């Protein structure tokens, strides 16, 4: 048995026949070959898989592809335009907000949703927002700095 | 200092791909015609396997093959890379570690069978229909119980659960010093078992090319050549020229991706069986049950002092958990990476350490960030604090009184190591100043006003990095050399590719190593690429662990560069029609000092590859050099950490109020990256101290088997840090570097626990084991009040 799912991924209409139990993250990684979205756990705890669905951050391991039918999905691959990094990406790079890079796409996509709702977040607000994102490498110190700098840069644009 | 040379906080090359989601991790790869492997694992800690019925699974939709150990009869066991000898001279017990269970399962998660299918879900569905007839046996979980007479054996052919009973130091001299001591402080402690939890789960893809007989394994490894050697020579019997190991971008390791794992063997072997690529990716719950765990020591430690608080002798006795099988480097962790560190920063004249390594029905335990050194530092810095309290001394005074002094280097410790350099008081002073140690009393009073208990804790750690001189480790039981290799390839138009045996899985080698090359060759940072992680591309190297990359891998690069420069001088001498001894190399130019004669590095490179005007009779064309560097000694980073906590006595919650780290890593190549390494290490150390603990129940079920149950540090659990450095240069490598990857995880736990106990001393609590969870702290306060 399979179902047809159609959605807009990074501005492009896509459609595919998938097993109904296909997770959105697998649809993105395997069917769409958008491997920037990662899988770090099986209990919806780590946030490596965060993408935007209709403009809000969502753990794509926690949603079926079929549930995203008709939605607009944005992944980390959508941010840089013509090789020009998004200010939040640039902020992570400038502030050493990543080491192995595995949590990074999820961190950046979460951070962008934070800035959507709070354009000038404090350290505490950032730390609390990252409740659903695990990083084992950075100790969070530089992620917090990156998000602060990214938010600032975004408000200047 | 140039803005891309040694000492500059250069932004990382690797980040351009990572922030765009363009990294290439193993699971991002999908090979044409691949099948998916699902591994059926034991649900029991200890059971005899009477029979396995795979017939239903074989008939499952999309199933390509099902294998059990019977199918793998030709395949060897998973080898151990280090042999420790007991006090009586006997070799450690080394039972077979089968790839798939042979007649018995020995921990929850032990692989039993593998299903290959067209999709991952088909493989998983089919695995559910495998029927295994288990005869459940008593599980050996607790280490103390495991070593008592009559305990069930994890391995019938060993007959006891003791893997080895090891000792280091002059026991008689220590006993004598204890009998004459003014005071003896004593402490029983547990170094809690941890699960490493790199955020990228392990993944392995096996590939076989029937036409050439070539096998390829793409894997999440910190050391591809080690895997090639172990799997090729000891498990599958494949010659090395027919086996390529490729470890692309790897999402964190912390030690857990050093080891050779069953799944790597399964996918490689199975690819040869079915002549199709085979892919396996761990679920996080599989990671919990199959990645090697860390720590897990139970220790008694005693410190003997004279009336002035001068240390006379130290004695430590430890039970160290090996888990069900010996993982690759497991035996050396509680011995040569632990006992040898027990002098710490102190001039304790005699030390004795004994370690019993114990088999239990749990996941194998091996090196995890720090590996032995956190355990040594924890017991030492805890007992030093107990000693200070016993003697009524300030935590800093007792340390100063016992520090090895700068004038005493090189310093021979009583536990085998020779420290080359250090200045422990300098780091202590800086840490105290940065943390306003003197102002603690005021802050404590303010906390008290608010109904909180405030405490301050110090830890002055040392560690040994840059493992290690091959002849030394060989004499201690290592079954490999521990050098590193590098090839510096100057391309005809002057760009440089460096092939290194070190592996980067977050450390930023592509940047720091390029900084070293840029500085040494005086060439543009952007024209240098660092290549790692592929046995077909890099020379035979030992990989990354033990904070060895810059000290050992970096030195190999420097030595190869020296050879390039030496050859460049010969070429320049020819082109400039002068003698080689007249040529000097500076800022990317071969020059004859005092003249205007000069050749740029790029001109020399071109001449080497287009040798029209070239001393072909004496010199080969080309400009590419390889160096293998075998370290002369370990390096010894050291520092002092000051942690301040606030405890809520009503809830038992501990909050880190501030954390100040001062480290001496020798010369720092990239301060930004080094600070990041310290931050990450600190949070793993704070995680161990306050949050993380691997728990098994009495039947050997893993209770902390997911992120719902195992408390990973999150952003709200930790503060921002103050990180500073002092510098004494390593004396035995050309860069003067020591290594920084593990320090945070080594130094932090005792600083945190000393701070918590300092806070709780007000309410009568004198001892507490990690993790100091709210429940434990709350209970300790209640117990102290009751007594
Ligand atoms: S993979 Fe989605 S939360 Fe971990
Ligand atoms: S950078 Fe490695 S997990 Fe965050």
CATH of A3-78 among 3.40.462.10, 3.30.2310.20, 3.30.450.20, 3.10.20.30: 3.10.20.30
Burial class (CB in 10 A: 0-12, 13-18, 19+), B345: buried
How far apart, in whole angstroms, are the C-alpha atoms of residue B241 and residue B775? 56
How far apart, in whole angstroms, are the C-alpha atoms of residue B249 and residue B498? 17
- pLDDT tens across A95-138, in order? 999 999 999 999 999 999 999 999 999 999 999 999 999 999 99
- For CA atoms B390, B320, B191, B458, the dihedral sign is positive
Rounded to the nearest whole angstrom, what is the distance from the C-alpha of residue A36 to the centroid of ligand 2? 14
CB nearest to B680's CB, from A99, A101, A131: A99
Cα B196 to chain centroid distance, Å, stands at: 10
Tell whether B61 is within 8 A of chain A (Cβ).
no
Closest residue on chain B to A39 (Cα): B200
Residue A98 backbone dihedrals phi, psi, to 5 degrees: -155, 150
Looking up tokens 């029983």, which residue turns up? B188
Q: Check pocket membership of B22 for ligand 2, CB cut-off 6 A.
A: no
- Token code pair at residue B528: 């240098």
Q: How far is B477 from chain A (nearest CA, A)?
A: 32
Mean pLDDT of chain B: 97
How far apart, in whole angstroms, are the C-alpha atoms of residue B565 and residue B664? 31
How far apart, in Å, do the first and last CA atoms of chain B sit?
62
Within chain B, what is the greatest distance between any pair of CA atoms? 91
Domains of chain B: 15-20+483-629 (3.30.365.10), 31-138+202-281 (3.90.1170.50), 297-403+417-467+633-786 (3.30.365.10)
**Contact: A80, B20; criterion CB under 8 Å:** yes
Tell whether B785 is within 8 A of chain A (Cβ).
no
Rounded to the nearest whole angstrom, what is the distance from the C-alpha of residue B291 to the centroid of ligand 2? 18
B628 neighbors B558 (Cβ within 8 angstroms): no
Pairing outcome for strands B453-462 and B484-490: unpaired
Q: How confident is the model at residue B536 (pLDDT cuts 50, 70, 90)?
A: very high
Closest to A106 (Cα-Cα) out of A128, A134, A73: A134
The ligand with the least distance to the CA atom of B199 is 2
How far apart, in whole angstroms, are the C-alpha atoms of residue B463 and residue B137? 41
Q: Is the pLDDT of residue B468 over 90?
A: no
Q: What does the domain layout of chain A look like in residue ranges? A: 3-78, 87-156
Closest residue on chain B to A23 (Cα): B121
Tell whether B709 is within 8 A of chain A (Cβ).
no
- Residues within 6 Å of ligand 1 by CB: A 39-41, 44-49, 59, 61
Q: Is the pLDDT of residue B556 over 90?
A: yes
Q: Check pocket membership of A141 for ligand 2, CB cut-off 6 A.
A: no
Beta strands in B24-136 (DSSP E): 35-41, 47-53, 63-67, 104-105, 111-117, 131-136
Q: Is the pLDDT of residue B253 over 60?
A: yes
Q: How far is A71 from chain B (nearest CA, A)?
A: 21
Protein residue with its CA nearest to atom 3 in ligand 2? A135
CATH of A87-156 among 1.20.1260.120, 1.10.150.120, 3.40.30.10, 1.10.1740.10: 1.10.150.120
Q: Which of residues 77-96 of A touch B (CB under 8 A)?
A: 77, 79-80, 85, 89-90, 92-94, 96
To the question of pTM greater than 0.90 for the whole model, the response is yes
Q: How far is A26 from chain B (nearest CA, A)?
A: 11
- pLDDT tens across B276-324, in order? 999 999 999 999 999 999 999 999 999 999 999 999 999 999 999 999 9
Tell whether B706 is within 8 A of chain A (Cβ).
yes
**Contact: A93, B15; criterion CB under 8 Å:** yes
Q: Which helix (H) or strand (E) holds B398?
A: helix B395-402
**Percent of chain B with pLDDT strictly greater than 90:** 96
Closest residue on chain A to B122 (Cα): A19
B259 neighbors B332 (Cβ within 8 angstroms): no
How far apart, in whole angstroms, are the C-alpha atoms of residue B689 and residue B771? 5
Best of B12, B21, B197, B251 to mutate for ligand 2, by most ligand atoms within 8 A of CB? B251
Q: Is the pLDDT of residue B391 over 70?
A: yes
Q: Which DSSP string corresponds to B514-572?
A: HHHHHHHHT--GGGEEEE-SBTTTS-S---S-TT-IIIIIHHHHHHHHHHHHHHHHHHH
The ligand with the least distance to the CA atom of A99 is 2
**Percent of chain B with pLDDT strictly greater than 70:** 100
Atom of ligand 2 nearest to the CA of B252: 2
- pLDDT tens across B63-113, in order? 999 999 999 999 999 999 999 999 999 999 999 999 999 999 999 999 999
CB nearest to B683's CB, from A43, A90, A139: A139
Q: Which residues of B touch A90 (CB under 8 A)?
A: 19
Q: Is the pLDDT of residue B39 over 70?
A: yes
Rounded to the nearest whole angstrom, what is the distance from the C-alpha of residue A134 to the centroid of ligand 1? 9
Looking up tokens 């632990």, which residue turns up? B338
CB nearest to A98's CB, from B19, B25, B683: B19
Q: How far is A87 from chain B (nearest CA, A)?
A: 11
**Contact: B706, A21; criterion CB under 8 Å:** no
How far apart, in whole angstroms, are the C-alpha atoms of residue B782 and residue B763? 9
Q: Which residues of A touch B200 (CB under 8 A)?
A: 38, 40, 100, 102
Residue range B335-356: mean pLDDT, rounded: 98
Q: Is the pLDDT of residue B181 over 90?
A: yes
Q: How confident is the model at residue B1 (pLDDT cuts 50, 70, 90)?
A: low
Within chain A, what is the greatest distance between any pair of CA atoms? 50
Tell whether A9 is within 8 A of chain B (Cβ).
no
Atom of ligand 1 nearest to the CA of B707: 4
Atom of ligand 2 nearest to the CA of B506: 2
Q: How far is A123 from chain B (nearest CA, A)?
A: 9
In the three-class reduction of DSSP (H, G, I as helix; E, B as strand; rest coil), residue A106 is classed as: helix
In the three-class reduction of DSSP (H, G, I as helix; E, B as strand; rest coil), residue A98 is classed as: coil
Pairing outcome for strands B598-600 and B453-462: unpaired
Q: Is the pLDDT of residue A157 over 80?
A: no
- pLDDT tens across A56-68, in order? 999 999 999 999 9
Rounded to the nearest whole angstrom, what is the distance from the C-alpha of residue A40 to the centroid of ligand 1? 5
B534 neighbors B244 (Cβ within 8 angstroms): yes
Q: How far is B28 from chain A (nearest CA, A)?
A: 6
Q: Is the pLDDT of residue B223 over 80?
A: yes
- For CA atoms B384, B390, B391, B393, the dihedral sign is positive
Residue range B550-562: mean pLDDT, rounded: 95
CB atoms within 10 A of CB B593: 10
Q: Check pocket membership of A99 for ligand 2, CB cut-off 6 A.
A: yes
Protein residue with its CA nearest to atom 3 in ligand 1? A44
Closest residue on chain A to B195 (Cα): A136
- Token code pair at residue B461: 């750690």
Tell whether A5 is within 8 A of chain B (Cβ).
no
């Amino acid at each position: 048995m399979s179902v047809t799912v159609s959605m807009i991924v990074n501005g492009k209409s896509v459609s595919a026949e998938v097993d109904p139990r296909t997770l959105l993250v697998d649809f993105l990684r395997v069917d769409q070959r958008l491997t920037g979205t990662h899988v770090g756990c099986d209990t919806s705890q780590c946030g490596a898989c965060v993408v935007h669905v209709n403009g809000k951050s969502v753990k794509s391991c926690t949603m079926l592809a079929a549930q995203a039918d008709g939605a607009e999905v944005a992944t980390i691959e959508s941010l840089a335009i013509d090789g020009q990094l998004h200010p939040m990406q640039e902020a992570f790079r400038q502030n050493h907000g990543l080491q192995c890079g595995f949590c990074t796409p999820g961190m950046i996509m979460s951070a962008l949703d934070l800035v959507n709702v709070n354009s000038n977040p404090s350290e505490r607000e950032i730390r609390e927002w990252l409740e659903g994102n695990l990083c084992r490498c950075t100790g969070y110190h530089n992620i917090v700095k990156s998000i602060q700098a990214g938010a600032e840069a975004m408000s200047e644009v | 200092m140039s803005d891309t040379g040694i000492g500059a906080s250069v932004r990382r090359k690797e980040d351009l791909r990572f922030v765009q989601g363009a990294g290439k991790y193993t699971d991002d790869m999908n090979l044409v015609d691949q099948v998916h492997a699902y591994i059926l694992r034991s649900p029991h800690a200890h059971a005899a396997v009477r029979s396995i019925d795979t017939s239903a699974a074989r008939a499952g939709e999309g199933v390509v093959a099902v294998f059990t150990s019977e199918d793998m009869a030709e395949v060897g066991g998973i080898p151990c890379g280090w042999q420790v000898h007991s006090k009586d001279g006997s070799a450690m017990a080394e039972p077979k570690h089968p790839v798939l269970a042979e007649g018995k399962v020995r921990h929850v998660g032990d692989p039993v069978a593998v299903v290959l299918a067209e999709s991952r879900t088909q493989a998983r569905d089919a695995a559910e229909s495998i029927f295994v007839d288990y005869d459940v046996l008593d599980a050996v979980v607790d280490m103390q119980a495991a070593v008592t007479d009559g305990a069930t054996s994890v391995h019938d052919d060993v007959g006891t659960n003791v893997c080895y009973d090891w000792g280091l130091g002059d026991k008689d001299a220590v006993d004598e010093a204890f009998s004459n001591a003014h005071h003896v402080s004593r402490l029983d402690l547990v170094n809690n078992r941890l699960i490493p939890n790199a955020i990228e789960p392990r993944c392995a893809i096996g590939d076989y090319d029937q036409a050439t007989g070539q096998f390829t394994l793409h894997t999440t490894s910190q050391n591809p050549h080690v895997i090639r050697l172990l799997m090729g020579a000891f498990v599958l019997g494949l010659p090395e020229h027919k086996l390529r190991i490729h470890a692309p971008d790897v999402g964190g390791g912390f030690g857990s991706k050093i080891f050779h794992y069953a799944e790597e063997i399964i996918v490689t072997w199975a690819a040869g069986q079915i002549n199709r690529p085979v892919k396996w990716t761990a679920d996080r719950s599989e990671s919990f049950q199959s990645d090697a765990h860390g720590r897990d020591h139970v220790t008694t430690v005693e410190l003997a002092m004279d009336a002035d608080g001068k240390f006379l002798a130290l004695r430590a006795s430890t039970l160290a958990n090996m888990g069900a099988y010996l993982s690759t480097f497991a035996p050396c962790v509680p011995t040569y990476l632990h006992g040898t560190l027990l002098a710490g920063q102190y001039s304790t004249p005699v030390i004795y350490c004994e370690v019993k390594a114990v088999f239990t029905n749990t996941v194998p335990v091996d090196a995890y960030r720090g590996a032995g050194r956190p355990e040594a530092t924890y017991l030492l810095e805890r007992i030093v604090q107990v000693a200070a309290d016993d003697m009524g001394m300030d935590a800093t005074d007792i340390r100063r009184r016992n520090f090895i002094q700068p004038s005493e280097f090189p310093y021979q410790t009583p536990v085998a190591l020779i420290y080359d350099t250090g200045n422990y008081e300098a780091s202590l002073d800086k840490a105290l100043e940065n943390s306003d140690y003197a102002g603690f009393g005021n802050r404590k009073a303010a906390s008290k006003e608010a109904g909180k208990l405030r405490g301050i804790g110090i830890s002055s750690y040392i560690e040994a990095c840059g493992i290690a001189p091959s002849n030394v480790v060989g004499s201690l039981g290592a079954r490999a050399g521990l050098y590193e290799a590098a090839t510096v390839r100057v391309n005809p138009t002057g760009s440089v590719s460096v092939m290194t045996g070190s592996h980067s899985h977050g450390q930023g080698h592509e940047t720091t190593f390029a900084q070293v090359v840029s500085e040494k060759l005086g060439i543009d940072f952007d024209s240098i690429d660092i290549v790692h992680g592929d046995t077909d591309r890099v020379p035979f190297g030992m990989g990354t662990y033990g904070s060895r990359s810059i000290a050992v891998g970096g030195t190999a690069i420097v030595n190869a560069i020296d050879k390039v420069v030496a050859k460049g001088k010969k070429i320049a001498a020819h082109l400039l029609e002068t003698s080689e001894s007249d040529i000097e190399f500076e800022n990317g130019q071969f020059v004859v000092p005092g003249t205007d004669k000069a050749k740029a590095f790029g001109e020399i490179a071109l001449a080497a590859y287009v040798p029209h005007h070239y001393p072909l009779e004496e010199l080969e064309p080309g400009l590419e050099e390889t160096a293998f560097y075998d370290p002369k000694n370990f390096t010894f980073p050291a520092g002092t950490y000051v942690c301040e906590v606030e405890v809520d006595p009503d809830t038992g919650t501990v909050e880190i109020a501030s954390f100040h780290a001062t480290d001496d890593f020798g010369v720092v190549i990239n301060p930004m990256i080094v600070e990041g390494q310290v931050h990450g290490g600190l949070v793993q150390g704070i995680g161990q101290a306050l949050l993380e603990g691997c728990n098994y129940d009495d039947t050997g079920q893993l209770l902390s088997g997911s992120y719902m149950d195992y408390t990973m540090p999150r952003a709200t659990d930790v503060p921002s840090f103050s990180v500073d450095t002092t510098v004494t240069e390593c004396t035995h490598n050309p860069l003067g570097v020591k290594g920084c990857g593990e320090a945070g995880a080594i130094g932090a736990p005792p600083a945190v626990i000393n701070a918590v106990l300092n806070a709780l001393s007000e309410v009568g609590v004198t001892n507490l084991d990690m993790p100091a969870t709210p429940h434990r702290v709350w209970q300790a306060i209640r117990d102290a009040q009751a007594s």
